[in-house]
């Protein structure tokens, strides 16, 4: 179904994630479109969009592991931690490669990270960046994140190129700022590209201009992936007509002994009909989200 699937877009620098969502709503004429993890306007790369009732998968997709290519510029720090913000420290200095390599291990694994003041985190109903823009100091708290992989790709002072694989909720801008602070040179994020979000890589993404052409000639459906492909880490439970009817009405279906975790209920034709959870010591699959009426 064209109105139930996943559309992976290679977002260019400039438009917001919300603007891309609106463009896709207009181009597909599908009212329900949502993204599974926002990208800042100055960032490019993988933006996963859920179409129709597949928007209900976004809670799983938005918490998936992300991969980025980041350019960090040493010598100055900004209020926003990126190149858009006011410069608050300017040293004109860059660390040596040896100094950088010595510091990077401190940013690997589970770490505590302070989000930027200019972020969308809500504080008593207001977004942090709204408070910061009004001249206030958002009272943010550090959060635990995980950097699964952090590799130095290249370094030509003042620009450092890093490949970063991290948990959802990680601010790459904060990594840039904190790295500059610890090295005593100041730094900010100069460029960012997301190359993977969950199971979807940049190779799966359609460039936004190409998608817009698809809208104009009514050939956009070729870029939509089946919703069944969205959560490969979930088991697959193939169901027949009788089980489909049970799931349709929210009833449990029998499971093999020892079943555990979450699963995708998929018909013999390959259509995703529900997200299931193993219950009662794995004796049953309970439908948590049903996509058939």
The Cα 293–Cα 288 span in angstroms is 14
Q: State which H helix or E strand residue 276 sits in.
A: strand 272-279
Q: How confident is the model at residue 2 (pLDDT cuts 50, 70, 90)?
A: low
User: One fold for both 66-197 and 235-290?
Assistant: no
- Catalytic site residue from 10, 40, 178, 204: 40
**Active site (annotated) includes residue 203:** no
* Residue 197 CB partners (closer than 8 Å, separation 6+): 36, 37, 46, 47, 48, 61, 64, 66, 67
What pLDDT does 30 receive? Answer: 96
What pLDDT does 132 receive? Answer: 65
* pLDDT, tens digit, 9 for 90 and up, residues 92-107: 999 999 999 999 999 9
Specify whether domain 66-197 bears CATH 3.30.2350.10: yes
Whether the link from the prior residue into 158 is cis, omega within 30° of 0, is yes
* pLDDT, tens digit, 9 for 90 and up, residues 226-267: 999 999 999 999 999 999 999 999 999 999 877 899 999 999
What pLDDT does 292 receive? Answer: 85
Distances (CA, A) of 184 to 17, 70, 88, 126: 34, 20, 14, 33
Does the pLDDT value for residue 129 go beyond 80? no
Q: What share of the chain is helix, strand, coil (3-state, %, to 5)?
A: 25, 40, 35
| pTM, 2 dp | 0.92
Task: Locate the domains of the chain by residue range.
Answer: 5-64+199-229, 66-197, 235-290
> Which superfamily does 5-64+199-229 belong to?
Pseudouridine synthase (3.30.2350.10)
Residue range 235-290, CATH number = 2.30.130.10
Mean pLDDT of all residues in 131-158: 87
The Cα 218–Cα 105 span in angstroms is 49
Q: How many other β-carbons are positioned within 10 Å of the β-carbon of residue 218?
A: 8
């Amino acid at each position: 179904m064209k109105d139930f699937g996943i559309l992976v877009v290679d977002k260019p620098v400039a438009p917001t994630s919300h603007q891309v969502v609106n463009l896709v709503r207009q181009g597909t004429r599908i009212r329900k479109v949502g993204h599974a993890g926002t990208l800042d306007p100055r960032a490019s790369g993988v933006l996963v969009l859920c179409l129709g009732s597949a928007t209900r998968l976004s809670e799983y997709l938005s918490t998936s592991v992300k991969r980025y290519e980041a350019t960090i510029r040493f010598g100055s720090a900004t209020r926003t931690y990126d190149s858009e913000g006011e410069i608050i420290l300017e040293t004109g200095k860059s660390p040596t490669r040896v100094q950088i390599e010595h510091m990077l291990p401190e940013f690997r694994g589970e770490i505590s990270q302070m989000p930027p003041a200019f972020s969308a985190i809500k504080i008593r109903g207001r977004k942090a960046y709204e408070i910061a823009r009004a001249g206030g100091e958002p009272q943010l708290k550090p959060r635990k994140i995980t950097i699964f992989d952090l590799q130095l790709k290249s370094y030509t002072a003042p620009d450092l190129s890093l490949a970063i694989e991290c948990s959802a909720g990680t601010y790459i801008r904060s990594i840039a700022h904190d790295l500059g602070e610890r090295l005593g040179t100041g730094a900010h994020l100069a460029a960012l590209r997301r190359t993977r979000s969950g199971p979807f890589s940049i190779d799966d993404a359609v460039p936004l201009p190409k998608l817009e052409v698809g809208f104009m000639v009514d050939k956009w459906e070729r870029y939509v992936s089946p919703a069944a492909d969205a959560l490969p880490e979930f088991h697959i439970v193939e169901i027949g007509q009788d089980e489909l009817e049970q799931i349709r009405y929210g009833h449990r279906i029998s499971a093999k002994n020892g079943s555990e975790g979450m699963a995708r209920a998929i018909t013999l034709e390959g259509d995703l009909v529900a997200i299931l959870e193993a219950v009662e010591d794995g004796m049953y699959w309970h439908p948590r989200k049903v996509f058939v009426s």
